[in-house]
Structure 1
Amino acid sequence: MSYLYKPRHQSPVATRSRVLPIAAAAAVLAVTTAVGVAVHASAPAPVADAQSLTSADPSRSGAVPAARDRQRTQAAPDAATTPSKAAGAAPSTAAPPAATAPAATTPAAPPAAKELAYRFAWQENYYFCGPAATRIALTARELYPSQSEVAQSLRTTVNGTNSADDTTRSLNAYTKSSFYKSHYITGQSATQAEIDRMQADIVNAITNGYAVVANIAGSTVDDKGGSHSYPGGHYLTVVGYSNGGTTVKIADPADALGVGYYTLTTAKLAHWTALRGYSA
């Protein structure tokens, strides 16, 4: 902030004019009047009184303290708002923000129901149930070998296909994967734990796009009351599930009803697979 500067010391001329004798002043006035010149036009400005000097120059000793404080505040920036540049200032010891751990991802729950797209075909002869069921499962992976080719992979003979180990091996060979595993139900009927395991295996396989091949024996009744009996053993394909996996859809290459598919509970399928196994 700037202010009008006025000299603190009066010029010598002004000083002399204040002490001029009265007689001399009268003489000067008479001479000035005679020549027609006004003395006050060239005279120096009168001395300002103490009050006017004080208000114009706050730095004088007579200035009000508050005015001097305002003067200094306006002349220099506030130290509290000016970053410190002092040499040797200690660095900040504030700890860096802690790293945020990535949020745990929860696997998506499988759908309550799913059915695979597949291509059905009846078994070509009485002992080709293994090759026919395995081929149906492969078509869900968009693989279409002939039943004879699959029979060679399974080492099928006129006596049929030996076990779920053969279907597991062939399915992995054709799909070029290790997805399939052999699972066995060793008792005369399935336990609740084995039923639950079969349900979980079927849901997992179907959800991932793989059909299940089961080796069954005996008789059962489907959800519509149709009877299916294979006392000497048989292979069929699980191509879908519903109700969270408690119901399965079967593609049967030797369905005596001539339809080729039906649904039944997973518990019935597990009991039907007793003493044998499945590939899932």
Structure 2
Amino acid sequence: MTTVKRWLPAITETPIRKTALGIAGLAVVGGAFAGPALSMTAPQAAMTPTAAAVSVRDVDKGQPSKVLDYQYKAQENGYYCAPAATRIALSTQGHTPAQDDVAKRLGTTEAGTNSAEDTTRVLNSTGGKDYRTVAIPDETAKPEQMDRLQVDVVHAIDAKRAVVMNIRGTAVDEAGTAHSYEGGHYLTVVGYDDHGRKVKIADPANPNQSEYWMSTITLANWAAERGYSA
């Protein structure tokens, strides 16, 4: 298979700063705990990215940009980032349930939401059956995982499916603003530009910084050791 050379920005990407996990493998966030990215009981075959799914060349032939219509609502408390991010994704398909309802279906507690497996399950139960959970198990995303995220975002957005990311650490957006979630966080990708090399994020944590653009390389590293629903 022909290797596709990964696009790189003119300026080196800001490294994603990861912190050590806290008590019992969980990281403190907003007074609660954010669960690990992936359940230890999940079938690994379903979680592991596969090179066969990646074709940057194909998405480069498609439309260069697309942004979905969505309804933004900030998370209602410090541990509702997954319900809020999932609700934003569902709103692109016309579903706007209460965050409490989404939280119940996700199994969210004051300890947070366990993993991207849960967001995938709830998205599929409401918005269709096309969402998959993709893991980025390494400490730093590999080039093929960056490519996979780019392709997954484009395919999902083109199909009117917003992508829910499970991230941790600090990342810098295209405007130079740092966003820090050392304990973990969920947010939603609602659009892309430059054939998916940049993504538009709807972040439920802060209404004053509810939207921003970020390179796919940065986002992939932000989701390292975790994963996403696409």
- TM-score class, shorter: 0.7 to 0.9
Equivalent in the alignment of 1:170? 122
User: Map of 1:1-280 to 2, 5 A cutoff?
Assistant: 109-175=61-127, 177-255=128-206, 258-280=208-230
Q: CA deviation at 1:109?
A: 4.6
- Compare CA radii of gyration and give the structure with the larger one: 1
Query: 1: CA distance between counterparts of 2:106 and 2:129?
Result: 16
Query: 1: CA distance between counterparts of 2:169 and 2:86?
Result: 20
Q: CA deviation at 1:178?
A: 1.4
Amino acid at match of 1:119: Q
Query: Higher RCO, 1 or 2 (CA under 8 Å, sep at least 6)?
Result: 2
TM-score, normalising length: structure 1: 0.60
Q: CA deviation at 1:114?
A: 0.2
The answer as to whether partners of 2:59 and 2:154 remain within 8 angstroms in 1 is: no
Q: Deviations over 1:120-149 (max 9, x none)?
A: 001000000000000000000000100000
Distance 1:186 1:120, change over 3 A: same
Query: 2: CA distance between counterparts of 1:180 and 1:262?
Result: 23
Q: Deviations over 1:256-278 (max 9, x none)?
A: x8130100100000000000000
Amino acid at match of 2:148: R
Distance 1:122 1:162, change over 3 A: same
Q: Deviations over 1:215-271 (max 9, x none)?
A: 00000111111110000000000000000100000000013x813010010000000
The answer as to whether partners of 2:167 and 2:186 remain within 8 angstroms in 1 is: yes
Q: SS state of the match for residue 112, structure 1?
A: coil
Q: CA deviation at 1:203?
A: 0.3
Q: SS state of the match for residue 181, structure 2?
A: strand
Query: 1: CA distance between counterparts of 2:83 and 2:149?
Result: 22
The answer as to whether partners of 1:212 and 1:237 remain within 8 angstroms in 2 is: yes
Higher percent of residues as strand: 2
Structure 2: which 5+ runs fail to align? 1-57
The answer as to whether partners of 1:246 and 1:265 remain within 8 angstroms in 2 is: yes
Distance 1:219 1:178, change over 3 A: same
Query: 1: CA distance between counterparts of 2:175 and 2:96?
Result: 31
Query: 2: CA distance between counterparts of 1:259 and 1:184?
Result: 27
Q: CA RMSD in A?
A: 1.7
Q: SS state of the match for residue 216, structure 1?
A: strand
Structure 1: which 5+ runs fail to align? 1-105
